[in-house]
Amino acid sequence: MEVKSTYKFARVSAKKARDVVRAIQGLPVSSALDVLNFTPRKSAFLIGKTLKSAVANAENNHDLDADDLIVKEATVGEGPTFKRFKPRARGSAGAILKRTSHIYITLAPKQAEA
């Protein structure tokens, strides 16, 4: 049973968030939360919220134990870009791109060792 959680339109660029997501793939949920708590980046906080949401979905909707879950897949896709303009010299304007991202986390139970 796979459990999914999504955070859409997160105000962090996908490129910056992918670095943090790579660190938690394949880890047990408790280890992944520890890694995120001690990573001093904005994207780590947002990914942590998404991971906690996935754990809550697993516990409440599927009656799974959080200790028996691993992060099967964690991906970050690009969201829409907010376009803003800042006045520059001699009447011109410079574009400012405020990027967003979509964070997807999939949890799965640990495989029983034979």
- Mean per-residue pLDDT for 68-84? 95
8 A C-beta contact, residue 56 and residue 113: no
pTM for the model: 0.89
Kindly indicate the confidence band of residue 1, based on its pLDDT and cuts at 50, 70 and 90. Answer: confident
For the domain covering 3-109, report its CATH number.
Answer: 3.90.470.10
Q: Are 48 and 33 in contact (CB under 8 A)?
A: yes
Determine the Cα–Cα distance for residues 74 and 24; give it in Å rounded to an integer.
8
Question: Could you please report the per-residue DSSP string of 24-58?
Answer: HTT-BHHHHHHHHHT--SHHHHHHHHHHHHHHHHH
Spatial separation of the C-alpha atoms in residues 72 and 13, rounded to whole Å: 22
| Percent of the residues in the chain that have a pLDDT greater than 70, as a whole number | 97
Query: What is the model's pLDDT at position 73?
Result: 94
In this structure, what is the dihedral angle of CA atoms 81, 86, 89, 92, given to the nearest 10 degrees? 60
Average pLDDT over residues 58-76: 93
